[in-house]
Amino acid sequence: MQQCSARKKRVRNGFTLLEMLIVVSIIMVLATIAIPKFSSAGKTAKIAKIQADIHTVSNAAALYELENGKYPSDVATLLKKDKTGKTYLQTEPKLPDGSSYKIREDGIVSGTYDNKVYSTGSQEPVRMPGQ
C-alpha cells in the first residue's frame, strides 16, 4: 500500500517530450509564415523612400523652373544658394545604393535602383532593356 501512495505523491517537474515537440512545431510554423513577410518589408520601405525622394526632387525642380525659366541640369543645382540665399533642397536625397537622382531637360526626375528605373509619374518601376 505504501508503494502506491508514494507514486501518487510524486510531483511532476518540467515538460514531457511530446509537449516540447508540439511547442517547437508551433514556433517553426509561425517562423515560416513571418520570415518572408519581414524580409520583403525592407525592400518595400526602400521603394517608398525612392518614390518620396523623386516627389521631393520633382517639386524642387518645378519651383526652380518657375523662378529661372528652365529646369536644373542636376540635383546639385538645387542645393546651391540662389541670389536671395535660399536653396531648393536642404540635402541631396540619394538612392539606397548611394547614387544620385537624374533630372532631364523636361523636368522628369528618375533614379535607377536594383536594375529598375523609377521616375516622376510612375508608381511601378520601368524594366531596363534586356530584362
C-alpha closest to that of 118 among 53, 43, 70, 40: 53
SS3 73: coil
Average confidence (pLDDT) over 65-92:
92
Higher pLDDT, 38 or 58: 58
pTM over 0.85: no
Confidence of residue 131 (pLDDT cuts 50, 70, 90): very low
Higher pLDDT, 10 or 60: 60
| pLDDT score at 50 | 94
> pLDDT over 70 for what percent of the chain?
82
Average confidence (pLDDT) over 54-79:
94
| pLDDT score at 6 | 54
